[in-house]
């Protein structure tokens, strides 16, 4: 189909790609990727030749020219498959500008859904999954980071963050300034990969466990939702008293 196809790719295990994603990569007129080498390698693993098809780089620093050219290609009736470096495009990865441009030009925008660290982490976390907020990467420093973390503390939903492993201990320390030490926290490391590991506990427990340990690899941090607000408890109290009158 002429249009943009967003193709989800593995976050670790190379076989975590859907059959439909492979079909789209095999048949698209133009291939576009955040990292062309990564896509080429993935296609090689699955025996899909690039052949003479264009393989275009499209990342945060590509500039508007690439998107304009891709729009012209689609206008000629061609299909473009876009893959980010890993997981689902647009999820803390490029793709948003491409989607907006295609929608703006009236072209079809389609997804070949698949892996994403956010959902894999939520799945194994053991935290309530009925309501969650994916907040992406916290600002790396400064006042913006504090504001971001304060906002997270108030969420009545499981909060899911991506963070660099070298900032993990700093993050846990900063979280203690905003949330109760008894709040459940889960850290998922290297999901679907050889050294996959999930650490679960209260914020206090994980701070102690990780104090002298350097966590390596890719990580997702999940924070259990805020306990019921005192206001809600007061409401219940009033309701009960009124009922007993
Ligand atoms: N688009 C990707 C997705 O759908 O999950 C996310 C890309 S973002 C640039 C990379 C971050 O995702 C990493 O820093 C880490 O927080 C998280 N991540 C990606 N793969 C992971 C894995 N296998 N295990 C744990 N976290 C992972």
Instruction: Provide the ipTM.
Output: 0.99
117 lines ligand 1 (CB under 6 A): yes
Quick: pLDDT tens for 94-126.
Answer: 999 999 999 999 999 999 999 999 999 999 999
Atom of ligand 1 nearest to the CA of 193: 23
Residue 63's pLDDT is 87
pTM: 0.92
Q: Which residues of the chain have pLDDT under 50?
A: none
CA angle 107–87–101, rounded 5-degree value: 20
Q: Are 16 and 7 in contact (CB under 8 A)?
A: no
Dihedral sign from CA coordinates of 33, 35, 41, 46: negative
10 lines ligand 1 (CB under 6 A): no
Order of strands across the sheet that contains 30-33: 55-57, 30-33, 79-83, 3-7, 109-112
196 lines ligand 1 (CB under 6 A): no
Whole-number Å distance, alpha carbon 84 to ligand 1 midpoint, is 11
Atom of ligand 1 nearest to the CA of 192: 23
Tell me which residue of 99, 160, 165, 166 sits closest to 135, measured CA to CA: 160
């Amino acid at each position: 189909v002429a249009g943009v196809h967003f193709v989800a790719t593995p976050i670790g295990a190379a076989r975590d790609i859907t059959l439909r994603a492979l079909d789209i990569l095999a048949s698209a007129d133009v291939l576009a990727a955040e990292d062309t080498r990564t896509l080429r390698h993935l296609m090689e693993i699955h025996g899909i030749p690039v052949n003479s098809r264009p393989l275009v780089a499209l990342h945060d620093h590509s500039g508007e020219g690439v998107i304009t050219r891709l729009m012209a290609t689609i206008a000629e009736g061609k299909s473009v498959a876009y893959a980010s470096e890993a997981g689902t495009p647009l999820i803390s990865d490029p793709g948003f500008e491409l989607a907006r441009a295609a929608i703006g030009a009236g072209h079809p925008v389609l997804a070949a859904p698949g892996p994403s660290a956010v959902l894999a982490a939520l799945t194994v976390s053991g935290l309530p999954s009925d309501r969650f907020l994916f907040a992406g990467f916290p600002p790396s420093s400064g006042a913006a980071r504090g504001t971001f973390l304060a906002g997270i503390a108030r969420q009545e939903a499981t909060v899911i963050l991506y963070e660099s492993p070298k900032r993990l201990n700093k993050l846990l320390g900063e979280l203690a300034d905003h949330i109760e030490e008894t709040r459940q926290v889960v850290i998922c490391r290297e999901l679907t990969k050889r050294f996959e590991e999930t650490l679960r506990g209260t914020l206090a427990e994980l701070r102690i466990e990780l104090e002298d340990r350097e966590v390596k690899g890719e990580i997702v941090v999940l924070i259990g939702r805020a306990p019921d607000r005192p206001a809600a408890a007061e409401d219940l109290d009033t309701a009960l008293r009124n009922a007993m009158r």
